[in-house]
A and B are shown apart, each in its own frame.
Chain A
Amino acid sequence: MANHAIVGAGAYVDFYKAKRYPGVLSWILSTDHKRIGILYLASMLSFFLVGMSIGFLMRLELIAPGKQLVDPQTYNAFFTLHGVIMIFLFIVPGLSASFGNFFLPIHIGAPDVAFPRLNLLSWWLFIAGGTLAVLSMFTGSGPPDTGWTFYAPYSIRTGTNVILAAFAAFVLGFSSILTGINFLTTVHRMRAPGMGWFRMPLFVWSLYATAWMQVLATPVIGINLLLIISERLFGIGVFDPAKGGDPILYQHLFWIYSHPAVYIMILPGMGAISEIMPVFSRRTIFGYKFIAYSSITIAALGSLVWGHHMFTSGQSYVASTIFSLLTMLVAIPSAVKVFNWIATMYKGSIHIEAPLLFAMSFIFLFSVGGLTGMMIGTLSFDVHVHDTYFIVGHFHYTMFGGMGMAFFAALHYWFPKMFGRMYNKAVAKMAWLMIFVGFNTLYFPMFILGWLGMPRRYYDYLPQYQGGHVVSTIGSWILIAGILIMLSNLIRSLRTGEKADGNPWGGTTLEWTVPSPPPLENFEKIPHVDRDPYDFEGVSAR
């Protein structure tokens, strides 16, 4: 980051123009990390819209007791596919595969990731997995109805298309592992001269911690899904109680992956927030090392708490108590991050822009999600609200309010860098407001419904729950309208937006030292880094 001079327009060729193949081939055969990042972004957002539409239909069905739109079996398929698509195709690849791919090499001053072809393969596997998941809806004996968790023994017995959906998740896991391997090696081997570990932007730290979890946790669900498939195909018996198998073991293996997976989802989001807070407060990040280490701590502790999903499954009380205690510990590094972000804003020169609005709503919504997480991590409380809407509310606050908001924040923050154009800022702020209001209207009533005893995944309910459900459904309309406005604003700006220069926000990390969009090999010369990532000295304000 020796100098922040921006190369003038015209003096370089941006990566969109440097093509190897004509047309769409220049995308799907490209090993350029920036193109792969955008491929991921586009495909993930498409899957997100599919998942969102299913969610919309579910909410519409629940607006009143009894049948509104679909029959119970279709509703079961809806919540399964909504979960599978949102989790495996949107939030698990999440910020890591999209923005991580685009910005990790630039952040550390490298021309590309360590294994560019493996990177492309991971996207191909992602698309293959996505296609299989969508195919499972329309082929065989009907879409799966097990919930995204594929719990045995029901997933062994149900007549629906579980094999295809489970295999899709397996393929997607493989794609996630390849991204993890790639990022780990890239961070270890390709940092520019002078880019020591504590000069890396915090987004890179979070991607690094995430990559370890992707690599260490994903194989466990891989084998678990393979076992479900072989259980259905050959009847091997390991999860079938009739043959002596133990379904609780399935749950253990499932959550050994799937709990760390929620940190795979949220950590890169936290990384992006750590990028955004200093830039819009024009103040260096508060407690850099604490945030960096807290990412690693979350990764380590988060791998040891899976049993809190199983408090009512019949595991021993000793195990439950230990898992409950460890769950409480995860709150510490998470709170370290939250307090440091807020401390970063203190006495800063705050610019209210769309990325900051999304980032602040991330902090608020994630805190609500995190604190309710503390509540359900408490054994005595969880027994009451387990499998109710309280849980649904909690994980939508952490996953959507957390990862989702961070994703939108990152989208608005890096959009001008990725596409070289600025969006309409007023529309973006309006969309944010609608999303924030819609989100809380949609999900907050779920806490109350759950507290009152409304079970999750139910097609029908008692009339006394209708009030909450109506409010929630109305919230879904506001939220979806907000999301559609946000996306159309961004898509329209791809062509008609005002041209953005190299550093429209006054950012300090390396991506803001190159033109927008970046040139093919990111840097004309590999930079020599001689300053800290959030050092605003000499960077002009915008």
Chain B
Amino acid sequence: MNTIDGLTVHHHRDYTGAKIGMWVFLFTELLLFGGMFILYSVYRTVHAEDFHHAAMELDTLVGTMNTLILLTSSLTMALSIALIQTGRKKSSILCLVLTIAFGLWFMVNKYFEWGAKFEHGLYPGSEFLLQHSQGEILFFGLYFTMTGLHGLHVLVGVGVLSVVGFKMLNKPYEDIVFAGPGVDKLEGAEIALLGKSGQKMWSSEVIDDSVERVSVRLKYRPVGKRVRKEDYALLENSGLYWHLVDIIWIFLFPLFYLIT
């Protein structure tokens, strides 16, 4: 709600609209990775044997651990949303922090996993890798690109969830707007601010039919009861994003680690 030269701009909040927008965005993410899955399927068909050999180089233990971590983080994410819907904000934020921690843990594992590969001279364009067959070069090219892009998405997710958590902690304002059919109930009324002894510090003009909307801005520390549907749209949408990141990993894991 902003006031501009006496005009009021109403930024509408539409829960369903926000959800539609997010789902459509998730389609774009699927297609982004879809391009790479096409490359993967073509090259694996052509170089099935090489992919089999190359996959043996990957550490299935770390991969499994990371799968478990991400799955658990999806659970805490879903819990966080379920908790805010029932108004338990503190527990909700706690679950959110856990989700972020799992995400970071995943990245730490990834760091050591990649680091070990680099130490063995196994990275795109390395001399060691170029001595291998074409299928193996392609396998590792795809492995580093796809898990790298996925890791980037995990980092973005961690960033988004942190911002959302911070916003949930500090949500000081609520605008209550009386508009449309509700505003006529206020007709003839007057709004005043009173001092300690009850004296009028400020008062509005009498509300007549020229008034379109009446806006009251409240500052508050949110408590459970005040959390409404609109307030968790943001959390739900970032949750959707997080689940997408999880789902993509669910495909990456078998395609790279378990094809031996």
Q: Collect the chain A residues with CB atoms within 8 Å of residue B130's CB.
A: 243
Taken together as a complex, chains A and B put the C-alpha atoms of A245 and B144 apart, in Å, by 15
Q: Does B100 contact A (CB under 8 A)?
A: no
Contact in complex: B149, A246 (CB < 8 Å):
no
Q: Does A542 contact B (CB under 8 A)?
A: no
* Stretch of B81-89, B134-142, B214-222, B225-233 contacting A (4+ beta carbons < 8 Å): B134-142
Check A17 against B31 for contact (C-beta < 8 Å): no
Alpha-carbon distance A31/B9, docked complex (angstroms): 11
Complex CA–CA separation, A364 to B35 (angstroms): 37
CB contact list, B124-156 vs A, under 8 A? 124-125, 130, 133-135, 137-138, 141-142, 144-145, 149
Cβ contact within 8 Å between B35 and A224: yes
In whole angstroms, how far apart are the Cα atoms of A20 and B5 in the complex? 8
Let me know if B16 is at the binding interface, CB within 8 A: yes
Which residues between 1 and 52 of chain B lie within 8 Å of chain A, taking CB atoms?
A: 2, 4-5, 7, 9-12, 14, 16-17, 20-21, 24-25, 27-29, 31-36, 38-39, 42-43, 47
With A13-B5, A13-B7, A245-B138 known to touch, is A234 a contact of B125 (CB < 8 Å)?
yes
* Chain B residues within 8 Å of A246, by CB: 42-43
CB pair B32–A215 under 8 Å, yes or no, is no
Tell whether A181 is near chain B: CB-to-CB under 8 Å: yes
Q: Nearest chain A CB to B120's CB is how many angstroms away?
A: 17
Q: A253 and B35: CB pair below 8 A?
A: yes
- Tell me the smallest distance from the CB of B96 to a CB of chain A, in Å: 23
Pick the residue among A111, A116, A220 that contacts B34 (CB under 8 A): A220
A window 169-204: CB within 8 A of B: 177, 180-182, 184-185, 188-190
- Is the pair B31, A243 in contact by a Cβ cutoff of 8 Å? no
A188 and B124 CA atoms in complex are apart in Å by 45
Give the number of residue pairs across the A-B interface with Cβ within 8 Å. 130
Main secondary structure of the interface of A (DSSP, over half): helix
Query: Within the complex, which residue of A20, A177, A184, A237 is in contact with B20, where a contact is CB–CB below 8 Å?
Result: A184
Please, what's the 1-or-0 string for A462-485, where 1 marks a CB less than 8 Å from any CB in chain B? Answer: 000000000000000000000000
Contacts of A17 in B (CB 8 A): 5
Residues A116 and B141 in contact, CB atoms below 8 Å apart: no
Residues of B within 8 A of A184 (CB): 20-21, 24
Give the CA-CA distance A185 to B133 in the complex, in Å. 48
Residues in B neighbouring A58, C-beta threshold 8 A: none
| Interface presence of A230 (CB below 8 A) | yes
Give the chain B neighbours of A111 by CB distance below 8 A.
10, 12
Q: Does A47 contact B (CB under 8 A)?
A: no
What bracket does the count of chain B residues touching chain A fall in? 35 or more
Known contacts A237-B137, A237-B138, A243-B138: A20-B124 contact under CB 8 Å? no
Q: Is the CB of A253 within 8 A of B38?
A: yes
Q: Are A234 and B11 in contact (CB under 8 A)?
A: no
Interface residues of A in 1-30 (CB under 8 A from B): 13, 17-20
What is the minimal beta-carbon distance from A180 to any residue of chain B, in angstroms?
A: 8
Q: How far is the CA of A161 from the CA of B163 in the complex (A)?
A: 36
In this complex, the member of A17, A182, A235, A249 whose beta carbon has the largest number of chain B beta carbons within 10 angstroms is A235
Q: Verify A238–B141 contact, CB threshold 8 A.
A: yes
| Chain B residue contacts of A144, Cβ below 8 A | none
Contacting pair B124 A237 (CB below 8 A) = yes
What's the minimum C-beta distance from A542 to chain B, rounded to whole angstroms?
30
Q: How far is the CA of A13 from the CA of B8 in the complex (A)?
A: 12
In the complex with contacts A243-B138, A520-B4, A222-B9 CB distance below 8 A? no
CB pair B35 A220 closer than 8 Å: yes
Q: Is there an interface contact between A20 and B2, defined as CB atoms closer than 8 Å? A: yes
Closest to B148 in A: A230
Question: How far does the Cβ of A249 sit from chain B's closest Cβ, in whole Å?
Answer: 6
B1: min CB distance to chain A, Å: 13
**Knowing A18-B4, A188-B17, A244-B47 touch, does A216 contact B27 (C-beta < 8 A)?**
yes
Name the contact of B134 in the complex, choosing from A115, A177, A244 (C-beta under 8 A): A244
Q: B154 to nearest A CB, angstroms? A: 17
Q: How many angstroms from the CA of A112 to the CA of B144 in the assembled complex?
A: 43
Take A181-B25, A520-B4, A520-B7 as given contacts and tell me if A236 and B145 are in contact as well, using a CB distance cutoff of 8 Å.
yes
Q: Least Cβ distance of B122 to chain A in Å?
A: 13
Measured CB to CB, the nearest residue on chain A to B11 is A116
25 A-B residue pairs with CB within 8 Å:
A17-B5, A18-B5, A18-B7, A19-B5, A31-B11, A112-B11, A177-B28, A185-B20, A190-B14, A190-B17, A217-B31, A218-B28, A219-B31, A223-B35, A234-B125, A234-B144, A236-B141, A238-B39, A238-B138, A243-B134, A243-B137, A243-B141, A520-B9, A521-B9, A521-B10
